[in-house]
Amino acid sequence: MKRRRFIQTVAAAPAIAIPATAPAAQPATQRPPAEAPKFELSPLDAVGDTTPRFFSAAQLATLRKLSDVLMPPLNGMPGALEAGAPEFLDFLIGASAADRKQLYKNGLDTLQTQAQKKFGKAFADLNETQVGELLAPLKKPWTYEPPADPFARFLREVKADVRTATINSREYSTAGSAGRRGGGVGQYWYPID
Amino acid sequence: MTKETYDVLIIGSGASGGMAAYTLTQKGIKCLMLEAGPLVDFNRQRTLKPVYELPYRGMGKPGKLPRVFQANEFNASQWVDETDVPYTHDPKEPYNWVRIRMLGGKSLFWARMSYRLSDYEFKGKDHDGFGENWPISYAELAPFYDRVEPIFRVSGRKEGLPQLPDGIFVEDTSPDAGALNRFRDAGKSLNLTVTKIRRSLGDGQFASSYNLLLPAAQATGNLTIVPNAVVRDITTDKKTGLVNGVNYVDRQSGRALHAKAKVVVVGASCLESTRILLNSNIANSSGVLGHYLHDQFYISNGVQAVVPEAKGGNAPRGLMGGSGYLPRFRNLKTKEKNFIRGYATDLNPSGTPDAKYFGTWGTELQKQLDEHRGAAFGTTIMGEVLPRFENYVKLDPKVTDKWGIPVLNFHCRYSDNEFNMAKDAVATISNICNDAGFKVLHGNDKMFPPGHSIHELGTCRMGDDPKKSVLNKWNQSHDIKNLFVVDGSSFVTGGAQNPTLTILALTMRASEYLAEQLRKGDL
């Protein structure tokens, strides 16, 4: 995994008072303002992994398997697991409104229940064909209005969320030189006072 | 302490407020402009960031700006936060009110689409019997379009269409993409035209009140600009009934202030202007203030097609790229059975269809995306919404904003005319795409909620009859002669065209009338 480090300028006050090391020897003339120091900083994800806190262990195992199926590593680009997408979604969904939380929890539980019922195994242990059978609602054409069935709605949401969480990850953006770009760079607006 | 009484107090600094200031100050009129938002220093307020450095990986803070579909995690701070300035509606009647409060208003961020209205809009009632005509004709507004377009440097290609009058263009001579030519040829039997997007080039692709109007206005020495001034209401002289100033609030501290003027021009954006009038309890002897709310309905990718020859990123030179505009072609010389008026469509032959259009995942999904790379033919459908009395805003008696000012309560829904129009648009464009040899991946006739286009219009409409309208043909209140409202709220109908160019032309016209009335001492 490559790591890109960013130089960020501390754009605070243009003049910062630097403590003198030898006060007694200060010259009488005023010194010119010192330039603000520059620090080399790293993004959060460069040094640590997200700690899951929202989903149960079983739900998270299901989400990990599902994420890997939806967005596997391809053509030299990292997949959802390498991008930490399931753990990021654990955080995002945990910070979301109650209906979104419930949609995800119920959806993951349904996958687990159906896996046990149809194949006698945990969802995380299913093979590709078996998973494909459970994800059949995703084969229906996309419609502007979400499906009425909550499980189909969950699958549609998780397909989009896993993809975005992967493509917008640091790992995806900085991976190799495969020519495929991640979420990219944008003009970020600071909050207005 | 007695402060100066200005000749004209202008509320708002966007397209309409900016044009009022531009026109009036050059005639020597002393203007005070109050803007609810701050002056933003773009160099300090924005920075380039990779998406993975954003706290939510670009997916947005959950619950932030749920009704602003244009918002994302990068630009979330540029929109009005509805926890500061809420609005209400029945959950079954959603409305997306998208707002910006900064010096320059929405003109800082608009898509710069610049189309003229025609007499199919100004005299729409004469054409199909619905609603009301505007009190002006295209011929009356055309000289003002002629003067606004050079300021904003509108690019375009002349077509001679009665439903989309040509302007004073920076001529766009670039060739059309082959895919657009195929689309046009396939639609020949419908007598449709595919023309260039007409867009304000401004100065370096920035075409705002902020850079094209306000600097010139302030250079006259006649414009005082005050940011962070949230207008609560307009005050009146009890003896004369004329307006004499406004009450406003310091956005940051909440301190209340009052400013005086001989004339008030309201250009706070369509619904904020109407809100101010409702909070002022003035200019509503007709009872139609707040009514006839309309916009254009929008459907992004109403038809999502693919150009087979461009698949895999292997488009022959000239086949793909650029964009086109399909002007209204319905109900011009013929009449449709299920709807009146018409729709326009943006055509975009570029990019790759979104992953959602492929009913698969994983390796197979990536294969599909690779196969369709660079072959997308996207369409955005923009339909005229009928102005109807039953679509309206009023004050919510229970809810106030951050500064204690009553907020708006919305009652707005689309009617069968819009639904039928959307169905026709998707079916017709799908057929044209098929006839052009494109493959249609998806068709959707469900429009975004009202308001999404950010083209809210009406609620303070103009007209000749004071019993049916709030303003006369000069954007002047029927009830109070020294009160003018110059933004999109004055529209009688909106057509399918983006409204900003018309707002600018109307404001220039109204401001010149106002200046003449002031000169004659009639205000």
SS3 sequence of B233-299: EEEECCCCCCEEEEEEEECCCCCEEEEEEEEEEECCCHHHHHHHHHHHCCCCCCCCCCECCECEEEE
For residue A66, pLDDT over 60 is answered with yes
C-alpha to C-alpha distance for A114 and B148, rounded to whole angstroms? 64
Residues 23-82 of B with CB under 8 A from A: 37-38, 40, 44-54, 56-59, 61-63, 72, 74-78
pLDDT of residue A175: 86
pLDDT of residue A168: 95
**Preferred mutation among A9, A77, A82, A142 to probe B, highest tally of B CBs within 10 A:** A142
C-alpha to C-alpha distance for B412 and B449, rounded to whole angstroms? 9
**Preferred mutation among B51, B75, B354 to probe A, highest tally of A CBs within 10 A:** B51
pLDDT of residue B77: 95
Q: Please provide residue A187's backbone torsions phi and psi, each rounded to the nearest 5 degrees.
A: -80, 110
pLDDT of residue B512: 98
pLDDT of residue A130: 97
Nearest by Cα to A56 from A104, A127, A121: A104
- Asked whether B251 and B103 are in contact (CB, 8 A), the reply is no
Q: What is the mean pLDDT of chain A?
A: 85
Contact assignment for B59 to A164 by CB distance below 8 Å:
yes
C-alpha to C-alpha distance for B224 and B221, rounded to whole angstroms? 8
Other C-beta atoms closer than 10 Å to the C-beta of A94 total 15
Contact assignment for B361 to A191 by CB distance below 8 Å:
no
Distances (CA, A) of B321 to A41, B204, B258, B302, B316: 40, 21, 53, 19, 11
Is B309 exposed, middle or buried, given 0-12, 13-18 or 19+ CB atoms closer than 10 A? middle
Contact assignment for B59 to A165 by CB distance below 8 Å:
yes
Least confident piece of the model among A5-9, A58-62, B127-131, B424-428: A5-9
Residues 72-131 of B with CB under 8 A from A: 72, 74-78, 102
C-alpha to C-alpha distance for A12 and B68, rounded to whole angstroms? 33
pLDDT of residue A25: 58
C-alpha to C-alpha distance for A13 and A35, rounded to whole angstroms? 9
Distances (CA, A) of B369 to A169, B51, B380: 20, 22, 21
In chain B, the residue whose alpha carbon lies closest to the alpha carbon of A138 is B359
List, for residues A10-21, the tens digit of each pLDDT value: 333 333 344 444
For residue A2, pLDDT over 90 is answered with no
Structure tokens at A42: 């790293």
- Angstroms from A27 CA to nearest CA on chain B: 36
- Asked whether B289 and B469 are in contact (CB, 8 A), the reply is no
What is the CATH number that goes with domain B5-42+79-520?
3.50.50.60
Report residue A44's pLDDT band, with 50, 70 and 90 as the boundaries: confident
- The structure's pTM equals 0.93
ipTM: 0.91
- Asked whether B224 and B140 are in contact (CB, 8 A), the reply is no
Contact assignment for A168 to B58 by CB distance below 8 Å:
yes
Report residue B2's pLDDT band, with 50, 70 and 90 as the boundaries: confident
Report residue B426's pLDDT band, with 50, 70 and 90 as the boundaries: very high
Report the pLDDT averaged over residues A93-105. Answer: 98
Q: What is the mean pLDDT of chain B?
A: 97
Distances (CA, A) of B338 to B289, B295, B341: 30, 20, 10
pLDDT of residue A26: 56
Counting residues of chain B whose pLDDT is more than 70, the rounded percentage is: 100
β pairing state of A185-189 and B46-50: antiparallel
Q: Which of chain B's residues have a Cβ under 8 Å away from the Cβ of A100?
A: 62
For residue B249, pLDDT over 80 is answered with yes
Q: Please provide residue B425's backbone torsions phi and psi, each rounded to the nearest 5 degrees.
A: -60, -45
The number of residues in chain A equals 193
Is B359 exposed, middle or buried, given 0-12, 13-18 or 19+ CB atoms closer than 10 A? middle
Contact assignment for B46 to A168 by CB distance below 8 Å:
no
Q: What is the residue extent of each domain of chain B?
A: 5-42+79-520
